[in-house]
Amino acid sequence: MPVVAAVLQARMTSTRLPGKSLYPLASVPLIEHIINRIKSVTDIDHIVLAVPDLPSETNLIETVQRLNVAIIKGPEEDVLKRFLMAADHVKAQHIVRICGDNPLIDRQLMRSLIHSHLKKNTDYTITSDPIPLGTGTEVAKVDALKKIATITKEPKYREHVTTWFHDHPTTNIQSNVPAPAYLVNKPYRLTVDTESDLSLMEKIFQKFCTATSLLPDLAKVIDFLDTHPDIAKINANIQQKNWRS
């Protein structure tokens, strides 16, 4: 059976919100919420935290070490190399790319992406549906990533791991997966990059993360935002960086 690894990219030196990975939401570090969501997806064989090889990451590494997750350290800007190091560390043939900004990544969509990716044996699998920022992910074949690494040294493609697939769609086998209906065309910003993003997440986790239910149900979160526009607008004016350009 092919080995699937979730590679969680994170760093403590975010330009807009340094240290956000360890920010507590409902008394649990943000990075731990992400890892708990990944652990609940049984289609994933390994979880690897991929961080820059810098002293700034010491506290993050120490926090994650107790969560039974593999950790690799690599170049800060060459994230593609970090991903390949992570894949090699656990001998994975496929990786699920997870961003350390997204404590509400959708588990149902993650499963669908993995199932489709393995069944169709594609190089790259995503959803083409418009969904809230921070709820989706991507699945890529490690051999395809290795090929990209040999083709280009351009920073655009080394720092943003999957941009090559978007810019060169005919050079690899790609597939799209429909997103769950509760996500489609929802305009919410469910990533953490600014203080406003944190304020929204604090309210969501305060309501939906309890001692008996540590994993907020994203369908219920979306319904909550639909019915509480005053809360949904907390970070609605934040402009997301176009990192694929």
* Average pLDDT taken over every residue of the chain: 95
Q: Is residue 171 predicted with pLDDT exceeding 60?
A: yes
For the segment 6-23, what is each residue's pLDDT rounded down to a tens digit?
A: 999 999 998 889 999 999
pLDDT value of position 211: 82
* Average pLDDT of span 186-193: 97
Q: Is residue 243 predicted with pLDDT exceeding 60?
A: no
Contacts of 175 (CB under 8 A, 6+ apart): 116, 117, 120, 122, 124, 125
In this structure, the number of other CB atoms found within 10 A of the CB of residue 52 comes to 21
CA angle 138, 142, 146 (to 5 degrees): 120
Using only the alpha carbons of the chain, give its radius of gyration. 17
Name which of 108-112, 150-154, 237-241 the model is least confident about.
237-241
* Average pLDDT of span 119-127: 97
d(C-alpha 143, C-alpha 166), whole Å: 17
User: pTM for the complete prediction?
Assistant: 0.96
For residues 21 and 30, the answer to whether their CB atoms sit within 8 Å is yes
| Residue 108, Cβ density class (10 Å: 0-12 exposed, 13-18 middle, ≥19 buried) | middle
